[in-house]
Amino acid sequence: MEKNEIYEVKIEDMSEDGSGIGHIEGMAVFVKDTAIGDTASIRIVKVKKSYCFGRLERIIEPSPYRVEPFCPVAKQCGGCTLQHISYKKELELKKDRVISCLGRIGGVEEPESLLDEVCGANSPYHYRNKMQFPVGLRGTFSGTGGRRDYFDTFSSRSSTVLGFYAGRTHTLIPLEECKLGHSVNKCIISAFTRWADRYRISVYNEETGEGILRHVITRVAFRTGELMVCLVATTEKVPELDKLVSELAKEVERYRAGGNNASLKSVMLNINKEKTNKILGDKTVLVNGRDYIVDYIGNIRFQISAKSFYQVNPVQTEKIYSKVLEYAELTGNQVVWDMYSGIGTISLFLAEKARKVYGVEIEHKAVSDAKHNAEINDIDNVDFFVGKAEEVVPDWLENGLGEYDSSSHSFRRKVDVVVVDPPRKGCDEKLLETIKNMKPGRMIYVSCNPATLARDLKYLLENGFRLEKYSVFDQFSRTMHVETVALLIREI
């Protein structure tokens, strides 16, 4: 196969970044702007050892799964990778990916037969509770070509815009709203840009490091409607901040009057003077209201501050945790380990039905949030450890305090249920070995990456566990991300 050759391909799958995948003479070819089900004429642009990249020349026969993207800038923005495919097909793709990984990598026989549920979103849009918009200026179209001319942050002052950087670049695509974010964002974008224009507040220039306004971050508590707006600027002395607050409050009030649940509870200012791609600086100050918003997952209350981690799709998250609870079959008497516990969400969710829950998490700040969350919910049967799960848990198993058992006058380190919710790279093998030695009756694996889930399952299935069932969840609609909750039962 050579560069510039033209081929006809049938697109059979989608990649993580939303490219279609087909095969030419047994070799995988990735083609942007195609959809599963398309037959397309493509030109080879790059050839690697075992795969290649093609550019779409012409669609010969469009896929029956194609739909019109919901967002006018879906293609330039690159944030959503599946907007051109129906949501029904998206769910099918996600399910198929999990099934294929479990079979191919995990060595699970007939993985379809163990599928419990595919849980799609009520709506695949407006699900994100947090948005981060860079601030820029609307540029003039110079007509010399190139994306920079379409919108140029470095041009002389014109109107202020909020937007997103186009995939892998720092070219800002101005937005009136993002279809993935909560619909209140539209009001915030409009209030913010009006304020910045009226008072001519300067916009940060990435090249010179001059200017004030860098980012606007919004967080909405879906359950309570509480809203936080955090402005990131290069100085603490942003002019006319009180006017920004009243402009925001006015817009949100108008939104609320339209029958929507939203109230502006917090306006924060984060100061970032550094020439860096990092969005937040170290210092955050309160501008108006209180410095956190309140939300609930199930019955658990969370206080979310400008910097705290919180699941971005709380509606689907609650469904995932409910599945974990269902699979755990707790009766009030079990000892549970929640590994990779973050801000303690799963631990607290399970605590009501367990005798004791231990959490372990590598991030200090997340653990202090977890402890705080336990406190404000009056939950006292949880303990959190800071550190690597693969170091903390073996140490606890060897030397930990465990529970005092009065009948044998000894400390018991018996564990009934283990939950893991690792990052994309999956669990460290040392941790899997420790879990094997812990001998919990059941183990629940919450995964954001089916490939590493399958790899880890292979180890667990060879070491005493049986895969009982699993469910597939869509937490990031319109992207290829997929979550899985798997239940393993110990056999030996």
CB of 138 to ligand SAH, least distance (A): 37
Least distance (Å) from ligand SAH to the CB of residue 340? 3
Residues 74-113 interacting with ligand SAH (rule: CB under 6 A): none
Indicate the residue among 394 and 440 with the shorter CB distance to ligand SAH.
394
Size of the site for ligand SAH (CB under 6 A): 18
- Which of 96-104, 161-169, 415-423, 466-474 is the region at the interface with ligand SAH (rule: CB under 6 A)? 415-423
Asked whether 127 and 316 are in contact (CB, 8 A), the reply is yes
The two three-digit tokens of residue 379, written as one number: 């939950």
Question: What string marks each residue from 334 to 363 as x (binds ligand SAH by CB under 6 A) or -?
Answer: ------xxxx-xx-------------xxxx
484 binds ligand SAH (CB under 6 A): no
- C-alpha span between 448 and 427 (Å, rounded): 12
229 token code pair: 């707006």
Q: Give percent helix, percent strand, percent coil of the chain, each to the nearest 5.
A: 25, 30, 40
Scanning residues 363 to 382, which ones bind ligand SAH (CB under 6 A)?
363, 366
Q: Pick out residues in 284-323 that bind ligand SAH (CB under 6 A).
A: 311
* Selected binder of ligand SAH within 107, 209, 239, 423 (CB under 6 A): 423
User: In this structure, are residues 22 and 10 in contact, taking their beta carbons and an 8 Å threshold?
Assistant: yes
The long-range contacts involving 305-310, CB below 8 angstroms and separated by at least 24 positions, are: 306/217, 306/219, 306/228, 306/230, 306/268, 306/270, 306/280, 307/280, 307/365, 308/343, 308/365, 308/369, 309/342, 309/343, 309/363, 309/366, 309/369, 310/129, 310/130, 310/219, 310/343
The stretch near ligand SAH (CB under 6 A) out of 34-42, 88-96, 151-159, 387-395 is 387-395
Least Å distance between CB 344 and ligand SAH?
A: 8
CB-CB neighbours of 5 under 10 Å: 13
Q: Closest CB to ligand SAH among 8 and 433?
A: 433
Residues 6+ apart with CB under 8 A from 312: 128, 129, 130
Q: How far is the CB of 390 from ligand SAH (least distance, A)?
A: 6
Give residue number: closest CB to ligand SAH. Answer: 342
What is the set of active-site residues?
A: 448
List of residues contacting ligand SAH (CB under 6 A): 311, 340-343, 345-346, 360-363, 366, 388-390, 421-423
